[in-house]
Each structure stands twice: as C-alpha cells, then as structure tokens.
Amino acid sequence: MMRTNHRYTVLLLLLGAAMTVAAQTRLYGDWGSSYKKQKSKTNQAGLYTDQYDGVHHLVGMQVEGAYASFLQQSQLMTMKPGGYALGLTLQYAYLNGPFFLQTGVGLRWQDVQNGVTDQQYTIEAIDATGTSCHMDYRFHDRTDRMRELYAQLPFYVGGYFRGFYVMGGVKASMPLVGDTRLSMLTTTTARYDGYIGPIEEMDNHGIRRDVPLTPDQQRGEALQMRFDLLGVFECGYELAFSNKGRPGYHRSNMRDQRLRIGAFAELGILNSAPKTRQALYTVPDSSPYDFQTFRYNHVLSTGQVGSVHSLYAGIRLTYFFFGVQTKEKCLLCGARGSISPW
C-alpha cells in the first residue's frame, strides 16, 4: 500500500512539472540568439526568421558606461587622467530584415579630469615683511575637473549577421548644466638684492612650498561648452526573445524583445571648447605672497587649448522591452501585412 502511494506521488509530481514547463513555454516561448542552430528557417544572413523577418518597431532603454576625455593639440593640457561618463537613453528601432534604423533621446553625465602642464613666472613683489624681492611662482601638479550634464539625440544605421550587430551614426549633444573643480600645488622662491641664491620655505616672508588650493579656490564656474556632434560606432551581440504562438490576427501572449550587449566609441566632430577667454590664473595687485587671494580658471575656459573634441569608449546594454511586427497572417483578410502587437 505504501509503495502504491509513493508511485502516485511521483506520478503527480512529474505531471505537475510537465504542466509547469508547458505553461512557461506558452507564456514565454523560445528565446536565444538571433542565430539559432534549430530546424527553424534562417535567411541568407543566418538570422532566425521567426524573429527577424518582416518589419519590426521596437522601443527600449539603453544604459552605458564609458571612459571620457578630450582630444586637443595644445601642450598646455593633457588627455590624462580622463574620467567617466554614464548615460541613459530611451530608444526606438525600426528593423527590416537584417537592417535597422535607430534613434532616441537621452541624458549623459560626465566627470572628466585633465592635467595642466606646470606654469612658472616671476614678478616684482613685496614679501610679508615689507621687503622688495623678485618672487618666483611655480604652479605644479595641476588637474582641472569638469562635470557636465548633456541632452543627446542619436541616429544610427546598422545591420545583423549571425547574432552579431554593427551600427554607426551621429549623435547631437547639448550641454545643460555643470561645474568645475581645480586641484593644484603652488611653490614660491624669492631672490633678494644683496643675497646670494634664492630663498626657500620662509613662511614669515610668505615664501612657501607645495601650498594646496583653498576650498573656495577649488570651486570654479560652470564651463559654457558648445553644442557638439559626435560620430558613433558600436558593435556587439544580440539576444532575441520571442515565441511562435498560434497563427492569428491577435496574439496576446506574444512578445518581441531584444537584449544587446555592445562596445562603442564616440568622437566629437565639432569643436566643443567654450568661447570664453579667461585667464588661467590671476595674481592680485596687492599681497601677492598670499596665495589665498589668487584666482584660477579651468584650462578649457582660457581659449589657449585650440580645438577640443570629446572622446568616449565604453560598454552599452540595450533592452528593447516592447515590439510591434508588421509581418502577421490575418485570419480576417487572409493576407500578410496587418499589425500585431507583441
């Protein structure tokens, strides 16, 4: 009797598991890459025809993370250390067979640091004791930081081949809001008439070494970056989620979803440097030995770096969560071409 009960229990468990698998298949259907080694048809590009034939309209979200910096030819500014950029974009894609067009609207936040070459100059000054001297200033270990939020409008053209995709295009980028931060050390030496050699590290004379900026000096004004047009290249792999369902005009349990993982690079086509012409540093007319009275501006605001072009290289993740396919058999009209929501 016990053995019989155990047999019934095992049979009920197996039956329940089979029903669960069948229900999940009905709800979620087949999934996998666009190139599938199955008995289903594939076209000349190796694409799974159930997922890529006909015309598809897709809507989704895209997130990205990238290394960011600026390219320019001036010796005053260096590309390193660079920074990062994070983006979020609402995407629309129009697919027709193995080709697609894609656009959207999004935001990008970037935080970029660029090194500035050491600066040195000499002025006739009066030290803290009131004695005239030749004061030598050296600004060194300087890094200028720029944080900016951009609104972006991309437009891409691309294609698929055996699960892989490649696309290129342009992206309009408009700066919205941001700020700047500066980091630097300042060292002074002094030469007095009647003394042999320079005088160093005499704090009572206002002669100091490796003096950092004050918090007020570190904060800078927002850069008035210009509108930019970026050239974009991206390639990666796509997973397509769909199911065949039952033929008919309306299939409520169908879906057409895509997940892309890709690498991209973007380069600014236009000069995005601000039009401002501010001084790199401003020495006060009085008390020049007092570093707290100095004022500094971001290197990009000086107009001394020439043409500046944005550079990005990173990873993108795109999820198309909603799709509409125009290839569908219509039970009412008996022809293809009606629109069925997936």
pLDDT digit string, tens, across residues 249-284: 344 445 678 899 999 999 999 999 998 888 888 877
Q: Please give the DSSP secondary-structure letter assigned to residue 225.
A: P
Q: What tokens appear for 163 in the block?
A: 């699960």
CA 239 → CA 53, 113, 163, 232, 260, distances in Å? 15, 36, 7, 22, 6
Mean pLDDT, residues 303-327 taken together: 88
User: Which tens digit of pLDDT belongs to each residue from 89-145?
Assistant: 999 999 888 899 999 999 999 999 999 999 888 888 777 777 888 888 889 999 999
Kindly tell me if the per-residue pLDDT of 327 is higher than 60: no
Say if CB 132 and CB 91 are below 8 A apart. Answer: no
Distance of CA 145 to the CA centre of its chain: 17
pLDDT of 246 reads 42
198 prior amide bond cis, ω within 30: no
Which residues are CB-contacts of 3 (< 8 A; sequence separation ≥ 6)? Answer: none
Of the two residues 194 and 87, the one the predictor is more confident about is 87
Both tokens assigned to 213 = 């900026």
**Contact between residue 330 and residue 337 where contact means Cβ atoms under 8 Å apart:** yes
Collapsing DSSP to helix, strand or coil, 300 comes out as: helix
Q: Lowest-confidence range among 76-80, 103-107, 330-334?
A: 330-334
Q: Which one, of 24, 23, 35, 26, lies nearest residue 240 by Cα?
A: 35
Q: Output the six-digit token pair for 333.
A: 């009209």
Whether 63 has a pLDDT exceeding 80, the answer reads: yes
31-35, 187-191, 239-243, 254-258, range with the lowest pLDDT: 31-35
- Residue 254: name the closest of 188, 163, 324, 192 by CA: 324
The beta-strand segments (E) located in the chain are 31-33, 55-71, 77-96, 99-116, 119-126, 132-161, 164-191, 199-200, 211-212, 219-220, 228-242, 256-268, 281-282, 295-296, 309-325, 340-341
Give the rounded distance of the alpha carbon of 57 from its chain centre. 25
Per-residue confidence (pLDDT) for residue 27, from 0 to 100:
35
Residue 150: strand pairing partners: 108, 175
Average pLDDT of the chain to the nearest whole number? 79
pLDDT of residue 320: 92
Please tell me the predicted confidence (pLDDT) of residue 248: 41
* For range 22-35, the mean pLDDT: 40
According to the model, what pLDDT value does residue 289 have? Answer: 63
Mean pLDDT of 311-324: 92
- pLDDT bucket at 242, cuts 50 / 70 / 90: low
Whether 31 has a pLDDT exceeding 50, the answer reads no
pLDDT top residue among 188 and 89: 89
Within 10 angstroms of residue 161's Cβ, the number of other Cβ atoms is 13
Confidence of residue 25 (pLDDT cuts 50, 70, 90): very low
Examine the pLDDT at 83 and tell me if it is beyond 50: yes
Residue holding tokens 């600066």? 119
Q: Which of 159, 35, 153, 164 minimizes the C-alpha distance to 101?
A: 159
Give bridge partners of residue 107 from the DSSP assignment: 88, 151
